[in-house]
Chains A and B, each alone.
Chain A
Amino acid sequence: MEAPPLHDPARDLWIVPIRHHSPACAAHLERLLAAVAPRAILIEGPCDFEPLIEQICDPRTRAPVAIVALRDVEKAGGTRRVVSYFPFCNHSPELIALQSASASGIPARFIDLPSTDPAMLSGDDDSGSRSLVGDETPFDVGDYVTALARELGCRDGNEVWDQLFEARIAETDWAGFFADVGQYCACIRGAVSADTMTRDGTLAREAQMRALIARHRAAIEGPIVVLVGGFHASALIEPGQDKVIEPKPGAGRSYLVRYGMRQLDALAGYGAGLALPGFYERLWQARETGGKALALELITGFAAHLRGKKLASPSMPVVLNAVEQAERLAALRERPFPARDDIIDAVRSSFIKDEIPPGDVPLLAELRAWLTGSAIGDVPPSAGSPPLVEAVRDRARALGFTIADGERRTRELDIYRKPRHREASRLCHAMALIGSDFAQRTAGPDFRNDAGLDRLHEIWSVCWSPHVETRLIELSEVADTLGDALAAVLAEKLAGLSALGRGRSAMAAIDLYAAACRAGLGATADAVLDAVERHVLDDPELASLIAALTDLVLLRRSREALDIADTATLDRIMAASWRRVLTLLPELAYCGEDQLRPAIAALADLRGLIELARSSDAPLDLGLFDEALARLGEAELDPMLAGAVMAFALTGGQIAPEALEQRLRGELASGYVEPADRLAFLGGVVAIARELLWTTPVIITALNDVVAGASEEAFLALLPHLRLALMPLDPRETDRLAAEVADLIGADPNRLAVLVELPEGDLAANLALDRELHAILERDGLA
């Protein structure tokens, strides 16, 4: 494969083949620009970005930054928003070229098709293009690169590139370097069919580049440097008869935005640039000295990072061994200094003294994160922002939030009386839901958990940090408005729910629904309810089903505060869950002995749910409940469960108090071996409806008869179980019970509250003992 010449003397054109974000290309470009001293620089990049060149070269701009381009695309079924990025980092040859042109006062121009051109979109699937920097996947896949990797003993295209080119960053022979890049790229191009290049828009873009080169060549005297992806170089060396396609005014919008190393790394997965940009940033800084000290700097730096994060940090000998390992790996692989993979390999074999499971280990993930870097760039204040950022900023400003600085502030919102405050609350909730870290609620009513409902105010801690904007920029790919962003986040979270277990996922889905309602999503939140329905409806546990249904009734009760306009979906799910509860109810009869207490607790919750449904006018068909309860009552039940069911039936008026009395007397006087069993029925009654003690006096009468008729010994055996059965009573109720019993047997109620006289000496001695005991407990750390 013939390499294209770097210089075309006939037109005095230097066509410089590069790889995007390659520090070696950037370093050699610096040398080339100094030697050639061009009169203009032309760069592969959408020509409609030219107005942004001034901002990019602004001294206040600090990489990484990116041009984000938004355009609407007509697709079957409506318009689709496509967002793409054209990122720059410190070691991007494009940025070096732009800054150099600006410094020497020569024109710099972008010569690719406008970002709105269909050819820039081809090859897109529906996920939308992520990068406008020329596609570099051929550097990583394809027969040529795979074969070369095998030949050189490299694991992938990235390592091949590092070995062949990044290793030469400190050399002075820029002409030889670019000749080799050109040769390499020409070989890669040779493995791609013309058909593919037509389909993915490559040929159309190259025609535009040729046309714009011709136009600028005609207008400018002296040498011109053309900076293009190495893939295109061979197509540009021959002048053509192509026509320039001018950008359509108003067809798309583009902004210069702050960008992060992390996002830059994420783009590498889309065929743009080299992964782990933090590593290449350091290589770029070492461009003059070569990478000799790079392994030492990076490995000790990473060890220090681990120490700083309080992670298990390696000892000095281990660090030294890793550095030595990296140097030797580089020597074995015939590289002048350790490349990216040598350093990762060295850390892998030296730092981890254990088996590494397939997939990953935390330490290597940490290394990758550290080599990715976390820096965020800066743009001059004159730069605009994507619509989502603008929209949220405008709304936050309009609602009285300060967003000019990163200070943390407290904001109190009167959500019931002031509509503006309610709006502000929605914004805070929405920002929390999209995970933007803008606002944390420190106090307020919780409609979800039925807590703090008497509070009239919400208190928020808010802070407009750079991370807030980063998150918004991230979401600006999928949304222009906060509503769209919320919908996207909601869909994503919903998809994540299925990973949880069934019971937990129902709860999580209800949480999510509540959060969506608070964020003011309204009808869109109904999608979450489908997930609730799915999880709730095949829940085999009565207890969790009742809990979920209670939550739904609570949410429905607060529908005005939560801004739920249409409760149709909610009502449908509640009705379905209710039917499910009633189906499961009779099955309680077959629960095992160990499940008895949970079953009683579920029944108590169920009673709470019914009361709540009555008081809040929830659309549950309570009539059906009696039938289900009757079916449960017909089964042969454990005494405790029977007590609970009968108490339930009595409160619903299904049975007469006499029936309960008769059964209670039978149970109390029964011939059970264990005294505990004689009182289990009473325990069941009290657990469900202790008010029956007052409303149905026959219970106390029956109880009194049994106690009165018992011998001293039998009474003592009964006593602990009696206490257990009456445990749900609070102290006031206990007093009331005592008074009723006293009344019944004609005793003087005043004698119940006997004050036992205690001599002063005894009291003092007891207090001293108490203090001593406390001191001992304190000393033993048990207090």
Chain B
Amino acid sequence: MTEQTEAIRRPAEQRYAAELALLAADDAKNPRPAGWKLSPRAVRKFLLGDAKLGIARKFYGDDPLADRAIVSLMSQQGLMLVGEPGTAKSLLSELLAAAISGTSALVVQGSAGTTEDHIRYGWNYALLLAEGPSERALVPSPVLNAMSSGRIVRFEEITRCPPEVQDALISILSEKALALPELGPDAVSMAAPGFNVIATANLRDRGVHEISSALKRRFNFETVHPISDPDFERELVLKQLAERLEPAGISVRGEREVADLLVRTFQDLRTGRTAEGVNLNRPDAVMSTAEAVNVLHAAALEAVYLDDGRLSGMHVARQIQGVVLKDSPEDGKRLRAYVDHIVKDRAGRSGVWKEFYQAARSLKLG
């Protein structure tokens, strides 16, 4: 294999290689399901952290969900992670695959262009024409790969595929085998122990497909919710901001106050209700924690490179419209109403809210 060049983002099993090795060393005595690289308890520690071993927490907000997900993957059922965009579904699936199978690279990315070949197998047509159907000419899909090696395959955004393509998974999940009729009447690829599927889906966005109930029955569903505790969300946003800024060697000032403002704004708009109990119109746009991090990151970059390095409410106001106005022009009016009523009130009491208010007032929100 060629030497690993520097990448923007490396897969989880590389990013956390040291932690995975630590866990594996500590895990010798614990029983392990067939095909698993780590015991379920070690997988749990990998996700939720373990102070004694020095394992960092990677999944936040819902520990029982992590347990249920791990246990589902030990069963005959696949694991379906659903929820609003930006709730760390894909991250969770990546971490689970990395910890259980040692690789998170077996991925089918669902899209309108996904075909059955992406789920079953395709052909190397040059070889196929030259030799006829043979194992050499067969190009296995990530699913078939995972079956033969007993690993976890991830199916991202499954609802973006047409239902008839999704349904190719049904027999794979129930039979745990895939017939290869081109290679002979009895040619079947059987799934090795350790094989399972983690699918992620968004059931609410526009332009997504239904999942057939036959396929639904073969999955255990877990709903990943946005984080509801503002203090906790703020800490998380700050931590992720630091993770992004550190490698670039930059630092900002005043980020705590601004993060607090940002998280409160996001929570208000996400739930349609302020902490004071005032009801508002929810924007259609996704107001996820991940988006909050993006906004704060962009605001921080603006503060550092175009300003004096002090993050302020003004920077957030300029960036937030990019998040809110993605979806529908109505959202602009909703944000405007939020600024005019809620933010205005808070502006009288705090400096950072005042900066936010003044800058937001001058935005063209429709």
Contact = CB atoms under 8 A, between A and B. Distances in A.
Interface of A: 153, 155, 315, 317-318, 321, 324-325, 328-329, 331-334, 341, 345-346, 348-350, 352-358
Nearest to B201: A355
A349 B225 CA distance: 15
B173 to A, nearest CB: 12
A321 to B, nearest CB: 6
Contact of B67 (A318, A333, A353, A356): A333
Contacts, number: 70
Nearest to A354: B221
A346 B225 CA distance: 18
Interface stretch (B40-48, B177-185, B190-198, B347-355): B40-48
Contact of B41 (A315, A317, A321, A332): A332
Interface string B45-87: 0001000000000000001100110111011110000110000
Contacts of A345: 64, 67-68
Contacts of A350: 77, 220
A349 B74 contact: no
A353 B221 contact: yes
Contacts of B213: 353
B225 A358 contact: yes
B223 interface: yes
Contacts of B216: 353-354
Given A153-B67, A353-B221, 18 more contacts: A153-B48, A155-B63, A318-B217, A321-B76, A321-B220, A324-B75, A325-B68, A325-B71, A325-B75, A328-B40, A328-B75, A329-B68, A331-B40, A332-B44, A349-B222, A354-B221, A355-B82, A357-B223
Contacts of A352: 221
A354 B203 contact: yes
A341 B63 CA distance: 12
A349 B203 contact: no
B219 interface: yes
B68 A355 contact: no
Nearest to B33: A328
Assign chain B's interface to a size class: 20 to 34
B64 A321 contact: no
A341 B68 CA distance: 11
Given A153-B44, A332-B44, A349 B68 contact: yes
B75 A355 contact: no
Contacts of B221: 349, 352-356
Given A349-B221, A354-B203, A153 B76 contact: no
B232 to A, nearest CB: 13
B38 to A, nearest CB: 12
A262 to B, nearest CB: 25
B63 A153 contact: yes
A317 B228 CA distance: 34
A353 B222 contact: no
Contacts of B203: 354-355
A42 B293 CA distance: 60
Most central of B71, B203, B223 by chain A CB within 10 Å:
B71
A341 B71 CA distance: 14
A349 B221 CA distance: 6
B220 A349 contact: yes
Contacts of A315: 217
Q: Which of B74, B75, B213, B219 has the most CB of A within 10 A?
A: B75
28 contacts: A153-B48, A153-B63, A153-B67, A317-B217, A318-B217, A321-B76, A325-B72, A325-B220, A328-B71, A331-B40, A332-B41, A332-B67, A332-B70, A334-B41, A345-B64, A345-B67, A346-B68, A348-B68, A349-B71, A350-B220, A352-B221, A353-B216, A354-B82, A355-B82, A355-B203, A355-B221, A356-B221, A358-B228
B48 to A, nearest CB: 7
A318 B217 CA distance: 8
Contacts of A318: 217
B126 to A, nearest CB: 43
Contacts of A356: 221, 223
A122 B128 CA distance: 85
Contact of B83 (A153, A332, A355): A355
Contacts of A324: 75
Contacts of B40: 328, 331-332
* Shortest 3 CB-CB contacts between residues of A and residues of B: A353-B216, A356-B223, A328-B71
A321 B77 contact: yes
A355 B40 CA distance: 25
B176 to A, nearest CB: 14
A328 B41 CA distance: 11
A175 B253 CA distance: 58
A358 B226 CA distance: 9
A328 B82 contact: no
Contacts of B82: 354-355
Interface string B211-240: 001001101111101001000000000000
A163 to B, nearest CB: 13
B316 to A, nearest CB: 25
Nearest to B217: A353
Contacts of A155: 63-64
A349 B48 contact: no
Contact of A349 (B72, B204, B217, B228): B72
A334 B40 CA distance: 11
B336 to A, nearest CB: 26
Contacts of B67: 153, 329, 332-333, 345
B157 to A, nearest CB: 15
Contacts of B68: 325, 329, 345-346, 348-349
B43 to A, nearest CB: 9
A346 B64 CA distance: 11
A350 B223 CA distance: 12
Contact of A332 (B71, B76, B217): B71
Nearest to B222: A349
Nearest to A149: B63
A350 B219 CA distance: 8
A328 B220 contact: no
A753 B316 CA distance: 86
B293 to A, nearest CB: 21
A356 B225 CA distance: 9
Given A325-B75, A329-B67, A332-B67, A355 B223 contact: yes
A332 B76 CA distance: 17
A324 to B, nearest CB: 6
Contacts of B41: 332, 334
A325 B68 CA distance: 8
Question: Most B CB atoms within 10 A — which of A318, A331, A354?
Answer: A354
Contacts of B70: 332
Contacts of A341: 64
A325 B72 CA distance: 7
Contacts of A354: 82, 203, 216, 221
Contacts of A328: 40, 71, 74-75
Contacts of B217: 315, 317-318, 353
A329 B77 CA distance: 15
A599 to B, nearest CB: 32
Contacts of A353: 213, 216-217, 219, 221
A352 to B, nearest CB: 6
Contacts of B64: 155, 341, 345
A694 to B, nearest CB: 57
Nearest to B219: A353
B103 to A, nearest CB: 23
A150 to B, nearest CB: 9
A318 to B, nearest CB: 7
A329 B72 CA distance: 9
Nearest to B82: A355
In the complex, which of the residues B40, B68, B70, B76 has the most CB atoms of chain A within 10 Å of its own CB atom?
B68
A345 B221 CA distance: 11
A586 to B, nearest CB: 34
A321 B221 CA distance: 13
Nearest to A327: B71
A774 to B, nearest CB: 44
